[in-house]
A and B are shown apart, each in its own frame.
Chain A
Amino acid sequence: MKIKNQSSLSSKYWLMVLVAVCVLLLGIERFTDGGGIFRLIGNYTVVPMQKGISYVGRYLSDISDNFDTLEDVRNEKDALQTKVDELTIENTRLRQEQYELDRLRELYKLDENYSDYEKIGAHVIANNGSNWFSDFTIDKGSNDGIKVNCNVLAGSGLVGIVTEVAPDYSRVRSIIDDASNVSGMVLSTSDTCMVRGDLKLIPDGRIRFEKMKNNDNVIEVGEQIVTSHVSDRFVQGIFIGYISEIEVDSNNLTRSGYITPAVDFSKLQEVLVITTTKADMTGGSEKE
């Protein structure tokens, strides 16, 4: 006890030192990437454990899936079969149009094709533990070719964007996060709008869109919103969701409303990351 009292600085001074360190860190964050070293440490300590836990979780949920009744599985199979039939018919039709489109594109010398971006799959290994943000950690990082600003999809819809990359993990901010802004457009009329995440809409599973021009184009509930051609971080044409409500703002110039996203954010397990960013594409096309 004696030694402890001698060596210890008063706790008041320690508090001051710690607060000063934090203020300094907050200050230098503007100029450098302060968390880099911690992220590297975390990459080799915490993240492997998270990977392990989420692996066990996946394994257990797989096991519990095995106990689905035969009837459920059969119903699901029937539903899927109908879907496959529908999609096959649609696909044939679309393929015919694709040939036509290719031909016309060739005529126009427009060979940019937005439909097939290179993607890699990743597992969601951790969520944000604070309730203020909706971002999550995935188990692939810069070693797998992921960069900051890569777009992330799940199923067919947009999930978010990579905000931080470490060697073996990266953090993805989902589009329902309060700080997220995505430039979107209506698929049928190409009217652009801003899709903004909102903290209070997260429990409803909706996102807000605003600043859509109030022009003559009739836009109805149920139309599809995709990422727009003017966005500098999101590649064009990724499906965001369906319009569930739309109304003209009081200024009579713009329209706003709500979108039901294509992705269920409460149970994300696997995501796809598009490894080429919009900057890569536009930079590449400028060089050519």
Chain B
Amino acid sequence: MKRKITIFFILLITFLLQSTVFPRIFPVLVVPNLMTVVTSSFGFMRGKKEGMFVGFAAGIFVDVFWGTSLGFNMMLFAVIGYINGYFHRLFFDEDIKLPLVLIGISELVYGLVTCFCIYVLRGDFEIYNHLFHIILPELVYTILATLVLYQIILYINKKLEAEEQRSASKFV
């Protein structure tokens, strides 16, 4: 339960950062996509199932407040979280390379799928232009944001895991 509440607050804070704080501080920049960072990191830190549910919850935020139709981002983030869960076995706390690569790839996939489903299906075929003006800048900013945000998420997750182990051993 504590884990669920903590994750909800992590999502809420990243959502507020992304929508309210960042545009105010850097008005003209492309905003980093923190929701993918959270989804993807819970995916490879905790496995498929948790990644999937965190992604689903992140998708609800995105769809209700930023999206046009409910369900699209929920599905996309849930799948991203699930696929990141496959790399749970390769994950070590100390290693920053795997998280960076995975989050980068997730972000790229998110950008391309959104571009395809929202713009290409509408008959707007300027993929090249979207790639260089939105997807890649967003990717760079997201990776920069990852360097900070990932450490925080990792720390919170470690604390939570330690506590869960303690309470599990108490009952035995």
Interface residues of B in 32-79 (CB under 8 A from A): 33, 35, 47-49, 52-53, 56, 59-72, 74-75, 78-79
Q: Which residues of B contact A155 (CB under 8 A)?
A: none
Contact of A178 among B18, B82, B124 (CB under 8 A): B124
Residues of A within 8 Å of B, CB-based: how many?
44
Residues of A within 8 A of B (CB): 1, 8, 11, 14-15, 18-19, 21-26, 29, 34-35, 38-39, 42, 46, 49-50, 53-54, 57, 125-133, 135, 137, 171, 178-179, 199-200, 203, 266-267
Q: Which residues of A contact B79 (CB under 8 A)?
A: 15, 19
Contact of A127 among B23, B59, B70 (CB under 8 A): B23
Name 21 interchain pairs, CB-CB below 8 A, sorted by A: A14-B53, A18-B75, A21-B74, A22-B59, A22-B72, A22-B75, A26-B71, A26-B72, A35-B63, A38-B63, A46-B12, A53-B16, A53-B21, A57-B24, A127-B20, A127-B23, A129-B18, A130-B31, A133-B68, A178-B119, A200-B129
Instruction: Give the residue name and chain of the B residue nearest to A173 (CB).
Output: B68
Instruction: Report Cα–Cα, A137/B20, bound state, in Å.
Output: 10
Residues of B within 8 A of A (CB): 12, 15-16, 18-24, 27-28, 30-31, 33, 35, 47-49, 52-53, 56, 59-72, 74-75, 78-79, 82, 85, 114-115, 118-119, 124, 126, 129-130, 133-134, 137-138, 168
Contact B65 A267 (CB under 8 A): no
Known interface pairs A8-B49, A46-B12, A133-B68. Does A18 touch B62 (Cβ–Cβ under 8 Å)? no
Q: Which residues of A contact B72 (CB under 8 A)?
A: 22, 26
Instruction: Report Cα–Cα, A131/B138, bound state, in Å.
Output: 8
Q: How far is the CB of B67 from chain A (nearest CB, A)?
A: 8
Known interface pairs A14-B52, A15-B78, A22-B72. Does A129 touch B27 (Cβ–Cβ under 8 Å)? no
Closest 8 CB pairs of A and B: A25-B71, A22-B75, A129-B18, A127-B23, A26-B71, A22-B71, A11-B49, A126-B19
Q: Which residues of A contact B67 (CB under 8 A)?
A: 130
Contact A29 B56 (CB under 8 A): no
Known interface pairs A15-B52, A129-B31. Does A29 touch B16 (Cβ–Cβ under 8 Å)? no
Contact B64 A39 (CB under 8 A): yes
